[in-house]
Amino acid sequence: MPKGKNVIGLDIGSSAVKLVQLKETKKGYSLQNLGLAPLPPEAIVDGALMNSTVIVSTIRDLFQSHRIRQKEVGLAISGHSVIIKKIPLPAMTMEELEESIQWEAEQYIPFDIHDVNIDVQVLTPNPSEQGQMDVLLVAAKKDVINDYLAVVQEAGLVPLVVDVATFCVQNAFEVNYELPASDTVALVNIGAAIINIDIVSGGTWAFSRDISMGGNMFTEEIQKQLNVSRDEAEALKLGGHSPTDAESVVPQEVERVIASVADTMAGEIQRSLDFYATQAADSHVSRIYICGGSSRLTSLYKVLENKIGTPVEIMNPFRNIEIDPKRFDTEFIRQVAPAAAVAVGLATRSPDDK
């Protein structure tokens, strides 16, 4: 792969596959390709690939329909198979850290150390001067990584980067928003099955947590409480009519169900922010940015803001990215933008990254 060229961001989510291709320019990034293809329910469950055949064909079709020749891609994983922790260690060189991290990691990881891939990054500037350093430790289960690599390779692609979804969202945020050094913000990616929470404080990663809930909860509750099919529930969730235009479903009933689920979801997000507050000296979150397909639900946006008492903004991962209106449907981009944050973050990566 040419030096400095970015991988294609390929986000294999539980409801859809999203791809983003960016080109680095003197001014920043320009959009080269954007695609989204839905996956059937149960293709991916709790981060596990249950129907590899349909995932492979969806990826192939997406690349063919966009006539993309580049094969090198970046992937993201999240959920219970990924552990992210900030650990304090005595100041040491990177070589010393790499030698000792296996032993250090065993104390913090609930999996067999031989079953995970480990990576570290030093968070403390000039650690030798302070005698101590904070290290970001990330461990991911090898079998999950291998499953994702396998479907991508079977689709004829070359995976060069594997990242964690929460860090991809942070990368996308940093490309598009100015982050004052004194502020603490929460980035909340609400996918179909998982919510990734990422807190950035003083310009640096401070806290992450994945919650096993997402947009599917809205669909399932509408389906159950209003006695409609899954397709009808999905259409009603997004503010449209059900495919059969069931006159028995009153819009106020849909809003009631959505508000109830949104309240439960906001409570879980609030608990994560409260947990962060017990660990951090300066824990005031000044703003929450939400992304992911479910962030488009107006009720969720309002409930989050009211319940947590912090301004909430929908993150636009294309805010600072140059987009040619002759090549792209700007209305389509506006609609899918919140769901593309992980793919955008991946598309900023290069195999040369350290």
User: DSSP labels for 29-87?
Assistant: EEEEEEEEEE--TTSEETTEES-HHHHHHHHHHHHHHTT----EEEEEE-STTEEEEEE
Which residues, 6 or more positions from 257, have their beta carbon under 8 angstroms from its beta carbon?
Answer: 218, 221, 222, 225, 226
Do 283 and 328 fall within a single domain?
no
Q: Is residue 133 part of a domain?
A: no
Confidence of residue 241 (pLDDT cuts 50, 70, 90): low
Q: Is residue 204 part of a domain?
A: yes
Does the pLDDT at position 50 exceed 90?
yes
Q: Is residue 209 part of a domain?
A: yes
Confidence of residue 353 (pLDDT cuts 50, 70, 90): confident
Residue 240: per-residue pLDDT? 65
In the chain, count H helices and then E strands.
Answer: 11, 15
Do 206 and 74 fall within a single domain?
no
Higher-confidence residue of 136 and 129: namely 136
Confidence of residue 85 (pLDDT cuts 50, 70, 90): very high
Specify the pairing of strand 72-77 against strand 8-12.
parallel
Do 267 and 337 fall within a single domain?
no
Do 289 and 325 fall within a single domain?
no
Domain of residue 277 covers 178-314
Tokens 């301004």: give the residue: 311
As a whole-number percent, the residues of the chain with pLDDT over 70 amount to: 96
User: CATH number for the domain including 2?
Assistant: 3.30.420.40
Residue 298: per-residue pLDDT? 81
Confidence of residue 1 (pLDDT cuts 50, 70, 90): low
Does the pLDDT at position 230 exceed 60?
yes
- The CA distance from 189 to 248, in Å, is 33
Q: Is residue 154 part of a domain?
A: yes
Q: Is residue 116 part of a domain?
A: no
Do 191 and 148 fall within a single domain?
no
pTM for the model? 0.93
Do 31 and 152 fall within a single domain?
yes
Q: Which of 177, 202, 213 is nearest to 285 (CA)?
A: 202
- The CA distance from 192 to 207, in Å, is 22
Do 354 and 283 fall within a single domain?
no
Do 196 and 162 fall within a single domain?
no
- The CA distance from 197 to 290, in Å, is 9
Do 66 and 150 fall within a single domain?
yes
Residue 218 contacts residue 297 (beta carbons within 8 Å): yes
Do 166 and 238 fall within a single domain?
no
Residue 289 contacts residue 186 (beta carbons within 8 Å): yes
Tokens 């849909």: give the residue: 254
Confidence of residue 68 (pLDDT cuts 50, 70, 90): very high
Q: Is residue 162 part of a domain?
A: yes
Q: Is residue 115 part of a domain?
A: no
In terms of C-beta distances under 8 Å and separation of at least 24 residues, what long-range contacts does 55-61 make, across chains too?
Answer: 55/12, 55/17, 55/151, 56/151, 56/154, 56/155, 58/17, 59/10, 59/12, 59/17, 59/151, 59/152, 59/155, 59/157, 60/155, 60/156, 61/37
Q: Which of 247, 182, 212 is nearest to 81 (CA)?
A: 212
Tokens 């499953």: give the residue: 147
Residue 228: per-residue pLDDT? 93
The secondary structure of residue 295, as a DSSP letter, is G
- The total number of structural domains that make up the chain: 2
- The CA distance from 78 to 83, in Å, is 9
52-65 and 142-154 are packed helices; what angle lies between their axes, rounded to 10 degrees? 50
Does the pLDDT at position 345 exceed 90?
yes
Reduced to 3 states (helix: H, G, I; strand: E, B; else coil), residue 327 is: coil
